[in-house]
Structure 1
Amino acid sequence: MTKHFLAGAALSALLITPAVAQDAGTVLATVNGQDITLGHVIAATAALPEQYQALPNDMLLQGILEQLIQQEVVASMARDELSGAMRIGLENEERAYIAAMALDAVAMADIPAEELQAEYDAQYGNVEPVTEYNASHILVETEEEAQALIEELEGGADFAALAQEHSTGPSGPNGGQLGWFTAGMMVPPFEEAVFALEVGEVSPPVQTRFGWHVVILNDTRDQAAPALEEVQDQLIEGLRQARVDSYLEEMSAAAAIERPEMELDPALIRDLGLLDN
């Protein structure tokens, strides 16, 4: 629809004379006996991509109406001679549109505050705080190098300065700082060493597949469950999806669905020639 939209707007010089009462049934044009109404323009406007929604209303009105007129000029000539493919395509489009509107109405109905709170409580009410760790490390190739660094630290050397000078890891230029992490984010030997430390304490040499580490625990903190406001959008999205799933399950259970037993060659779904037979 958008391909010729702006061209249509530029071509049209149509001015709509206000009627005493204008509603969705107000006729804006008639093409070969087929009315194009304000309702048709409203529906087409709502379906425009976001980048077109910011256009001025007068441009939208003129452009969409012109496009609908052009479409009806073509459609009115072809409507009485629809091919089998066109008729089946229209049936699919109608089915999809009606279903989409019905599901949208189910999904987008208001979610009461108490329902949102209940969902938050169900997901986060019993979440235990998770401990986060902030550590720095110096990565070297051998245990001897690691032990020598520990001795320098015991003598008063600055950890960040040693990391910048000696660490072969990517965090070296940043003083070995690894930031905040929780259990499961680091390799097991490294985590075990960190978890055994007190804040400010330096570990003995720790070996991982990356080499030998000297680790200092900078700080710890508890990561509490997020506030309702932080997760509200994803909770609402989940509730809306749950509504749709429940509605589909309920409607399917109540529907009379019959599936004839037959052998069907799956390759037939690509045979466009069958549509016009």
Structure 2
Amino acid sequence: MKRILASAALSACLITPAIAQDADTVLATVNGQEITLGHLIVAQSQLPEQYQSLPDDVLLTGILEQLVQQEVVASAVRDDLSTSMQLGLENEERAYVAALTLDEVAMAEIPEEELQAEYDAQFGDVEAGTEYNASHILVETEGEAQSLIDELEGGADFATLAREHSTGPSGPNGGQLGWFNAGMMVPSFEEAVFDLEVGEASGPVETQFGWHVIILNDTRDQAAPALEEVRDQLVEGLRQARVDAYVQQLTDESDVTRAELDIDPALLRNTDLLDN
């Protein structure tokens, strides 16, 4: 496609200005197979983004030439397709029709009241929680942790001690862990944080990572997000739910029979079975 479109500008002047407006307008015939304006419109809509900005006359010439060349090749073998080709065509048709149909289902307009209802269902009962901002110093032994606590009680700066002694990845940043809420840290660490007052440092706290000295920097209320903050997330979920429901409905209404056969899964990789 890239080669065809790149050379299309040179032959664009060969196309007679179109006067028809019908998608059934025939632009070329190859061995009796018609290529219509509609074929070109569909092909154009599926082009990669980098080709969409090309001039219309270049696109028309390039796409038409591509479809002509494809038909020349396809018509030469259409009556003698291999098993692999035939099965591939069936798979492509199935996937193409299904994808476009599901895209229409998913992208249909979502009424604002439906979006509001989904927001209420997900966040309407969310109670305000608490977020914590803490720093820590991670060392290997309880004795090291206690020595650091003694230094803090003597007036040492927590961030400086963290940079000098912490073995954790937050050490170079003064031990800062940022904001977190319940469930984001290991239990013993969280329990120690929840018992602290703002500005207070903990005693030695053991986790599977080692021994920690923790200071609680601040707390804040965590309310449910506003609808606009989660609109995209909600829309995406509703679209996926639509698709799932549509597929399930069609499945329930369809006559689906799955053969109960004992098949070696390794046969899936045996392309020799496709040989004519």
CA distance in 2, matches of 1:265, 1:165: 60
CA distance in 2, matches of 1:25, 1:243: 34
CA distance in 1, matches of 2:132, 2:151: 24
Q: How does 1:104-143 map to 2 (within 5 A)?
A: 104-143=103-142
The more displaced of 17-26 and 128-137 is: 17-26
- Give the match for residue 89 of structure 2: 90
The more displaced of 105-114 and 248-257 is: 248-257
Report if aligned partners of 1:140, 1:166 keep a CA contact under 8 Å in 2.
Answer: yes
- Give the match for residue 255 of structure 2: 256
CA distance in 2, matches of 1:149, 1:47: 64
What letter is aligned with 2:248? E
Query: SS of 1:197's equivalent?
Result: coil
CA distance in 1, matches of 2:172, 2:273: 68
Root-mean-square deviation (CA, aligned residues, Å) is 2.8
1:72, distance to aligned residue in structure 2 (A): 1.6
Identical positions, percent: 75
What letter is aligned with 2:212? H
CA distance in 2, matches of 1:264, 1:151: 69
1:118 and 1:72, CA in 2 relative to 1: closer, same or farther beyond 3 A? same
The more displaced of 123-132 and 82-91 is: 82-91
Is the counterpart of residue 23 in structure 1 residue 22 in structure 2?
yes
Report if aligned partners of 1:23, 1:38 keep a CA contact under 8 Å in 2.
Answer: yes
Is the counterpart of residue 39 in structure 1 residue 64 in structure 2?
no
- Give the match for residue 170 of structure 2: 171
What letter is aligned with 2:57? D
1:86, distance to aligned residue in structure 2 (A): 3.4
1:276 and 1:213, CA in 2 relative to 1: closer, same or farther beyond 3 A? closer
Aligned length: 276
Q: Where does structure 1 lack aligned partners over 5 or more consecutive residues?
A: none
- Give the match for residue 57 of structure 1: 56
Report if aligned partners of 1:8, 1:67 keep a CA contact under 8 Å in 2.
Answer: no
Report if aligned partners of 2:12, 2:57 keep a CA contact under 8 Å in 1.
Answer: no
1:136-170 per-position Cα deviation (integer Å, ceiling 9, x unaligned): 22334444443343333334332223333333433
- Give the match for residue 184 of structure 1: 183
1:36-60 per-position Cα deviation (integer Å, ceiling 9, x unaligned): 1111111111122233333333322
- Give the match for residue 150 of structure 1: 149
Query: SS of 1:160's equivalent?
Result: helix
1:274, distance to aligned residue in structure 2 (A): 5.6
Q: How does 1:76-87 map to 2 (within 5 A)?
A: 76-87=75-86
1:14, distance to aligned residue in structure 2 (A): 4.9
CA distance in 2, matches of 1:25, 1:126: 56
Report if aligned partners of 1:164, 1:172 keep a CA contact under 8 Å in 2.
Answer: yes
CA distance in 1, matches of 2:244, 2:12: 48
- Give the match for residue 236 of structure 2: 237
What letter is aligned with 1:230? E
1:88 and 1:203, CA in 2 relative to 1: closer, same or farther beyond 3 A? closer
CA distance in 2, matches of 1:70, 1:106: 34
Query: SS of 1:243's equivalent?
Result: helix
CA distance in 2, matches of 1:214, 1:73: 75
